[in-house]
Amino acid sequence: MPIPQGPRNTQLPQRQLLRELQTTAEENLRRHRKALDDWHPHDYLPLNGGTPPPRMMYPERRELDDVAEAAMIITLLTADNLPSGLQQMTDSVAKDSAWATWVRMWTAENDRHYVVLRDYLVKLRGVDPVALERARMENMTVGISCALEGASLLHSLASVTLQELATRVAHQNIGPVCGDPLAGRILTRIGDEKDLHTIFYRNLCAAALELTPDQAVRAVGDVVLNFQMPGVTRPGFRHTATRMAQYGIYDIRQHLDQVLRPTLEEWKLFERNDFGKEGEQVRECIGRHLEDLEMQARRFEQSRDRTCSPTPNSRAEEPGGQRSRWATSSFRATSAACI
């Protein structure tokens, strides 16, 4: 699609955005349904303690390494507690609309992720089901903190785009840390659906950038500069995030090279010529933020390279002898104040 010509400074209200993006939502809902595979949690785990499907090999029941267990639990709790902003905003549309249908499908698919992860952790990995349920109840009560998710429809679309892709990147790296082929297969299956979710939200954001460039890029800039990993409100999250970065599950380099840059390239953010003055300023701030993250990533890699590669059960000192900046609640660059 060619880059639009000329600036457009339209500021559209929420209801109009929903109407204007309805056709794109319908197209992407059809694409999602066509690409979606039919699978069930019991394809991977036995029902009610029964005999597992013959095509699946089950390792002996044993505890996970502490890093792998913490990462899996964060993944599970995130799947069970979706951001609510988009759901609330689509309450005003018809129940049979593409928006409402999508939110229900997205919720159901994430519920399926929760079920298979919970059963894996409890049935095969000896995770305390009572402690896990208490953590789930606490998590559902506190809610998930996402970067400006719920501030507006455009903020929610941008936030969930990055969150889904970040979760997918983490999923593909948790399996090897678990040291269990079954965990790898489960996380790959979930990751495939996360890819589809990412595409849906990314395409809606792309359409919004065509529709109202300055308004959309402002939301993108707000989210990029204030991004938070799902689970940041959980007690002990900073320590867990640091260790996840140490073991290559999700670190600042992956955030920059596998989440932010590819997404911004898909949106042609640095090629567009349809921004007004405000949009240009936001784009400059995003560019400076990426430069700041690049410097942070290099420092993190240098610190990590100076330490011995830890094993998941080790209590190795954190890179550089201090808490990694990735463990902080967000990546706020010094340029964030300009947005």
pLDDT in tens, 27-80: 999 999 999 999 999 888 766 555 545 434 444 555 677 888 888 888 887 776
Separation of alpha carbons 63 and 58, rounded Å:
14
At 95-147, the pLDDT tens digits run 889 999 999 999 899 989 989 998 888 888 778 888 888 887 877 766 555 54
Shortest CA distance to 24 belongs to which of 54, 1, 41? 1
Is 49 a member of any domain? no
pLDDT in the model for residue 81: 64
In a domain, 11, yes or no: no
Are the C-beta atoms of residues 189 and 120 closer than 8 Å to each other? no
| Number of domains observed in the structure of the chain | 1
**Is the distance from CB of 5 to CB of 274 less than 8 angstroms?**
yes
**Within a domain: 72:** yes
Minimal CA–CA distance to 44: which of 180, 142, 166, 141? 180
Q: Is residue 18 part of a domain?
A: no
Is 239 annotated among the ligand-binding residues? no
Q: What is the pLDDT of residues 6-35, one digit of tens each?
A: 444 568 998 899 999 999 999 999 999 999
Summarised one tens digit per residue, pLDDT across range 232-273 is 666 666 777 788 888 889 999 999 999 999 999 999 999 999
The residue range of the domain holding 200 is 27-36+64-338
Q: Is residue 52 part of a domain?
A: no
Q: Is residue 43 domain-resident?
A: no
Facing residues of 5 across strands?
Answer: 273
β-strand partners of 282: none
Q: 51 in a domain, yes or no? A: no
Scored b (16 or more CB within 10 A) or e, 169-200 reads: bbbbbbbebbebebbbebbebbbebbebbbbb
**pLDDT value of position 137:** 80
Q: What is the pLDDT of residues 287-299, one digit of tens each?
A: 999 999 999 999 9
Cα–Cα distance for residue pair 171/191, rounded to 1 Å: 6
Q: What is the mean pLDDT of the chain?
A: 79
Give the predicted TM-score (pTM) of the model. 0.82
Q: Is 210 annotated as a binding residue?
A: no
Tens-place pLDDT, residues 172-204? 999 888 888 888 999 999 999 999 999 999 999
Nearest to 331 by CA among 284, 275, 293, 285: 293
pLDDT digits (tens, 9 = 90+) for 269-281: 999 999 999 999 9
CATH number of the domain where residue 271 is located: 1.10.620.20
> Which residue has better confidence, 127 or 221?
221
What type of residue is 298? R
Q: Would 240 be classed as within a structural domain?
A: yes
pLDDT band of residue 218 (cuts 50, 70, 90) is very high
278 assigned binding-site residue: no
- Asked if 160 and 150 count as a contact pair (C-beta separation under 8 A), the reply is no
Residue 285 token pair: 């701030």
Instruction: Please check the confidence at residue 1 and state whether its pLDDT lies above 70.
Output: no
